[in-house]
Amino acid sequence: MDLPEFVSARTVLAYHALPDELSTAQLLATIGNKELYLPRVNGDDLEIVAYNPNSLTCGAYGIQEPVGEKTVGIESIDAVIVPAMAYDRTGNRLGRGRGYYDRLLAGSRCRKIGFVYDCQIVDRVPTDPFDVAVDVIVTDKQIIRY
């Protein structure tokens, strides 16, 4: 919550963590005066929908997703909390293989904040030219900046 990239953000895209991911529950509950959004899978893409804790449904892959018609574009988001299976020490991300976040973040100017357990930091992850790296990683034990 004290991370400068987060503090300066007016709009934040977060996510509901899966059981094997570092929990985002406290973040979602204490977001403060920011506009909070969550992703929703729509075919091969992620939509960005305003977060309402009382208006969620179990969506694709068993992830809690927001319900609602109003979506915003990534250009409206100041900071994105990005999940991963692993990050390497240069900010590259290993996702779950569908490329949702890479497509969403391609060309985006928002701050990208990785959020994982410390044991998910590895020396190197495989990358492709279309992969989007993060600007900073927050783990349960450290902060790594690039």
Q: Supply the mean pLDDT for the chain.
A: 94
pLDDT at 2 over 90: no
For 29-61, how does the pLDDT look when each residue is reduced to its tens digit (9 = 90+)?
988 789 999 999 999 999 999 999 999 999 988
For 102-137, how does the pLDDT look when each residue is reduced to its tens digit (9 = 90+)?
999 998 999 999 999 999 999 999 999 999 999 999
Residue 146: its pLDDT value, please?
A: 83
* Three-class secondary structure assignment of the chain: CCCHHHHCCCEEECCCCCCCCCCCHHHHHCCCCCEEEEEEEECCEEEEEECCCCCEEECHHHCEEECCCCEECHHHCCEEEECCCEEECCCCEECCCCCHHHHHHCCCCCEEEEECCHHHEECCCCCCCCCCCCCEEECCCCEEEC
pLDDT at 66 over 90: yes
pLDDT at 83 over 90: yes
